[in-house]
Amino acid sequence: MAVTEPAPAAPPAAYEGILRRQTMRESAARTYARSLPIVPVRARGLTIEGADGRRYLDCLSGAGTLALGHNHPVVLEAIKKVLDSGAPLHVLDLATPVKDAFTTELFATLPREFADDARIQFCGPAGTDAVEAAFKLVRAATGRSGLLAFTGAYHGMTSGALAASGGAEDVTVTRLPFPQDYRCPFGIGGERGARIAARWTETVLDDPKSGTPTPAGMILEPVQGEGGVNPAPDGWLRRMREITASRSIPLIADEVQTGVGRTGAFWAVEHSAVVPDVMVLSKAIGGSLPLAVIVYRSELDTWQPGAHAGTFRGNQLAMAAGTATLAHVRENRLAERAGTLGAWMLARLRALAADHPCIGDVRGRGLMIGVELVDPEAAPVDGASEAPPDPVLAVAVQQECLRRGLIVELGGRHSTVVRLLPPLTLTDEQAEAVIDRLADAMAAAERSPHRRTATGSIR
């Protein structure tokens, strides 16, 4: 059945049962399932259809995975081709034509200077596996152990990645301030704030009493995603490159979420013309199926055979889907499209902020957009110029969005940043519809008589 025909709605008892059984049987750690209690049965492009027969505009896109949206024809075709060819689906890390084509296409998209002298390691299937591999690689290559990471970072859920994300104590990770205009840790923002943040990094590295021995590497996201959509200023990123290069510290760019056109460049490091030593890639490179790699300067390739192994490193379907996705984004200049459409959406959202004092900040790059929600009536904390975050309102906005058929994620330090990660294939009309629904949802959440402050009083 073509996805344009509405799916017959399942009887409410059927999908309610699915949701109830999920609640009973799945871990308390389940995440999206809590805030988005829907049962997707079909999907195409931006649209997901629920078992309830309702359609939703999906601006979560598998946490930024679906560069081409759901079930793009070129992706489906690529998967079918492998299935029909009789090719083996599981091959560990053996060479195959499918893998060869993927590597060729991936290298063709990478900055020339980097790709010309790069090696690739296929990792376990998740982004976090590739982050761990990157840490292991730079530790092996430098003989050092510590890592530099930034406030607000998110790199995954395995122990090393989690430590680098600030989610666990780990003495080997030194946390440095990420430059941000809104809620700048130095209360300044802008270029000056970024300069001070860079200066801090330099001081930590050069002060023999900083308590931070020369680390094995520095990891950063060119635009922090889960941390609340914080784009790194280009000048600051270049400074990080200079600081690390002059001290022989490998720079690891985590492009798991920013890659494949999302931010308006094929790879987000291209905005600043920074060439990292290691790139961590996952999400969109698998065209909706699990795939994760690190690509790095050949000089770092001091690993012994088997130094980083894993059973599921040869997902042929993901490689085929990924090749098709990378080629489609490249051939159709979808990164540029994400840049222009994203700028238009940001402008629309900033205009909306004028009528909604609960919008504290609108920021982003390309189609990686964040709207930070605040309580404009509450007093700023400790002399900050920004109003405090409003997590209760954020949840209400997310729910009102869902009621209006719009799926959005919440992120940021206090889960108060509404995140938009639509596919790069988003049309102008769809972008309008997304903004309209979000604006409506925001107005409804603001009006809600049940809106409560974090302390429990009704506003």
Residues near ligand PMP (CB under 6 A) are 63, 126-128, 131, 154-156, 221, 225-226, 254, 256-257, 282
Which residue lies nearer to ligand PMP by CB, 65 or 430?
65
Minimum CB separation from ligand PMP for residue 143, in Å? 25
Minimum CB separation from ligand PMP for residue 346, in Å? 20
For residues 216 and 228, is the Cβ–Cβ distance under 8 A? no
Q: Which of 420, 363, 340 is nearest to 231 (CA)?
A: 363
Which residue lies nearer to ligand PMP by CB, 215 or 228?
228
For residues 376 and 358, is the Cβ–Cβ distance under 8 A? yes
Distance CA 370, CA 346 (A): 9
Which residue lies nearer to ligand PMP by CB, 75 or 220?
220
What is the maximum alpha-carbon separation in the chain?
Answer: 68
Q: Which of 293, 260, 320 is nearest to 68 (CA)?
A: 260
Which residue lies nearer to ligand PMP by CB, 149 or 359?
149
Which residue lies nearer to ligand PMP by CB, 219 or 442?
219
For residues 338 and 421, is the Cβ–Cβ distance under 8 A? no
Which residue lies nearer to ligand PMP by CB, 50 or 231?
231
Minimum CB separation from ligand PMP for residue 166, in Å? 13
CA atoms within a 13 Å half-sphere pointing along the CA-CB vector of 254? 31
Which residue lies nearer to ligand PMP by CB, 49 or 409?
409
Minimum CB separation from ligand PMP for residue 314, in Å? 17
Distance CA 340, CA 346 (A): 10
Minimum CB separation from ligand PMP for residue 29, in Å? 13
Minimum CB separation from ligand PMP for residue 378, in Å? 30
Cα–Cα distances (Å) from 91 to 312, 316, 382, 405, 436, in that order, read 9, 8, 57, 41, 47
Minimum CB separation from ligand PMP for residue 53, in Å? 30
Token couple for 341? 């459409």
Which residue lies nearer to ligand PMP by CB, 102 or 150?
150
Distance CA 419, CA 432 (A): 16
For residues 448 and 437, is the Cβ–Cβ distance under 8 A? no
Minimum CB separation from ligand PMP for residue 131, in Å? 6
Minimum CB separation from ligand PMP for residue 125, in Å? 8
Residue nearest ligand PMP, CB atom distance: 127
CA 42 to chain centre: 24
Distance CA 146, CA 171 (A): 8
Phi, psi (5° rounding) for residue 45? 60, -125
Which residue lies nearer to ligand PMP by CB, 50 or 412?
412
For residues 366 and 262, is the Cβ–Cβ distance under 8 A? yes
Minimum CB separation from ligand PMP for residue 126, in Å? 4
Q: What angle do CA 385, 221, 101 make, to 5 degrees?
A: 155
Which residue lies nearer to ligand PMP by CB, 109 or 282?
282
Written as one letter, the residue type at 171 is: V
DSSP annotation string for 357-409: TTEEEEEEETTEEEEEEB-TTSPPGGG-SSPPB-HHHHHHHHHHHHHTTEE-E
Distance CA 398, CA 404 (A): 10
Minimum CB separation from ligand PMP for residue 280, in Å? 7
Which residue lies nearer to ligand PMP by CB, 226 or 375?
226
Written as one letter, the residue type at 421 is: L
